[in-house]
Amino acid sequence: MALPRLYSGMQPSSGSLHLGNYIGALQQWRAMQDDYDAFFSIVDLHAITVPQDPAVLREQVRTLAAQYIAGGIDPDRSCLYVQSHVGAHAQLQWLLSTITGFGEASRMTQFKDKTAKGGQEAASVGLFTYPILMAADILLYDTQVVPVGDDQKQHVELTRDLSERFNKRFGKTFTVPKPVILDSGARIYDLQNPASKMSKSAETDKGIVWLLDEPARTAKKIRSAVTDTEGSIRADKAEKPGVTNLLGILSATTGRSVDDLSAEFDGQGYGAFKTAVADAVVAELAPVRERTLELLADPAELDRLLAANADRAAEVADATLRRALEAMGL
Q: Determine the Cα–Cα distance for residues 298 and 35; give it in Å rounded to an integer.
A: 31
Contact (Cβ atoms closer than 8 angstroms) between residue 42 and residue 10 = yes
Q: To the nearest whole angstrom, how small is the minimum distance from the Cβ of residue 201 to ligand ADP? A: 6
Q: To the nearest whole angstrom, how small is the minimum distance from the Cβ of residue 32 to ligand ADP? A: 12
Out of 117, 168, 172, 200, pick the active-site residue.
200
What single letter denotes the amino acid at residue 143? T
Sequence-distant (6+) residues with CB within 8 A of 220 are none
Residue 116: closest CA among 102, 127, 105 = 127
- Does 21 bind ligand ADP (CB under 6 A)? Our answer is yes
Q: To the nearest whole angstrom, how small is the minimum distance from the Cβ of residue 330 to ligand ADP? A: 34
Nearer to ligand ADP, 56 or 319 (CB): 56
Nearer to ligand ADP, 97 or 199 (CB): 199
Known catalytic membership, residue 220: no
- Does 199 bind ligand ADP (CB under 6 A)? Our answer is yes
Please check if 72 is assigned to a binding site. Answer: no
Q: Determine the Cα–Cα distance for residues 128 and 140; give it in Å rounded to an integer.
A: 21
Please check if 228 is assigned to a binding site. Answer: no
Q: To the nearest whole angstrom, how small is the minimum distance from the Cβ of residue 327 to ligand ADP? A: 32
Q: Determine the Cα–Cα distance for residues 65 and 63; give it in Å rounded to an integer.
A: 5
Known catalytic membership, residue 172: no
Q: Determine the Cα–Cα distance for residues 232 and 84; give it in Å rounded to an integer.
A: 51
Span interacting with ligand ADP, options 41-49, 85-93, 181-189, 212-220, rule CB under 6 A: 181-189
- Does 20 bind ligand ADP (CB under 6 A)? Our answer is yes
Closest CB to ligand ADP: residue number: 24
Q: Determine the Cα–Cα distance for residues 114 and 64; give it in Å rounded to an integer.
A: 23
Please check if 193 is assigned to a binding site. Answer: no
- Does 11 bind ligand ADP (CB under 6 A)? Our answer is yes
Q: To the nearest whole angstrom, how small is the minimum distance from the Cβ of residue 134 to ligand ADP? A: 13
Please check if 11 is assigned to a binding site. Answer: yes
Helix 125-139 vs helix 153-170: crossing angle, to nearest 10: 70
Residue in 114, 187, 206, 223 binding ligand ADP, rule: CB under 6 A: 187
DSSP H/E element including 239: none
Q: Which residues of 307-323 are buried (b: 16+ CB within 10 A; e: fewer)?
A: eebbeebbebbeebbeb
Q: Determine the Cα–Cα distance for residues 91 and 87; give it in Å rounded to an integer.
A: 7
Instruction: List the binding residues.
Output: 11-13, 20-21, 137, 149-151, 188, 197-201
- Residues interacting with ligand ADP, by CB under 6 A? 10-11, 20-21, 23-25, 149, 182, 186-188, 197-201
